[in-house]
């Protein structure tokens, strides 16, 4: 489950690399992240991931500090939980689809815990950078999404 809070302003794109991205996500050069279930990848730069981190901080951190999920503590943003969702949310396209139309963890209905992120709020590149940050954090960030955070 991902939750969002509306914010009045979003950076169009980060102009510097956030130290969290280099230190904890271990990104100093563009990294490949899966974009679909077929295993296709796309490169995301440190700037892209920094932009995603800032969008996460502005929109998601209130409910997802450290990759936890405050409205549903049993479901985090860990890689295992992202993979376990129906449909799986462990690639860029599936996370973007969720952000555009949030569904319950089992995929049976729309969820009201998370706010829909229309393109009028976040452009396609922004929402992809946000998804890339979440996915890379789930892969690399120490303690991200841990149940004992």
Q: What secondary structure does DSSP assign to the chain, as a single string? A: -------S---SS-SS--HHHHHTS--SS-EEEE-STT--EEEE-HHHHHHHHHHHHHHTHHHHGGG--TTSTTS-SSHHHHHHSSS---SHHHHHHHHHS-B-TTSSSB-SSS----TTTS-HHHHHHHHHHHHHHHHHSTTTT-TT-
If one compares 3 and 42, the residue with the highest pLDDT of the two is: 42
Q: How confident is the model over 67-110, as pLDDT tens digits?
A: 998 888 889 999 999 999 999 999 999 999 999 999 999 999 99
pLDDT of residue 6: 44
What pLDDT does 2 receive? 53
Percent of the chain scoring above 70 in pLDDT: 89
CATH number of 19-139: 1.10.760.10
Residue 14: predicted pLDDT: 54
Q: Is the pLDDT of residue 5 over 90?
A: no
Task: Name the residue with higher pLDDT: 147 or 57.
Answer: 57
């Amino acid at each position: 489950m991902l939750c969002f809070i509306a914010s009045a302003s979003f950076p169009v794109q980060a102009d510097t690399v956030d130290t969290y991205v280099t230190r904890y996500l271990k990104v100093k050069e563009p990294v490949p992240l899966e974009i679909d279930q077929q295993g296709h990848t796309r490169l995301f730069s440190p700037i892209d991931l920094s932009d995603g981190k800032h969008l996460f901080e502005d929109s998601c951190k209130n409910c997802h500090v450290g990759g936890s999920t405050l409205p549903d503590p049993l479901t985090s943003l860990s890689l295992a939980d992202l993979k376990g969702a129906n449909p799986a949310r462990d690639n860029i396209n599936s996370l973007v689809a969720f952000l555009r139309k949030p569904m319950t963890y089992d995929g049976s209905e729309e969820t009201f815990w998370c706010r829909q992120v229309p393109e009028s709020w976040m452009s396609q590149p922004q929402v992809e950078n946000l998804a890339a940050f979440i996915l890379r954090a789930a892969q690399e960030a120490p303690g991200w999404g841990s149940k004992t955070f």
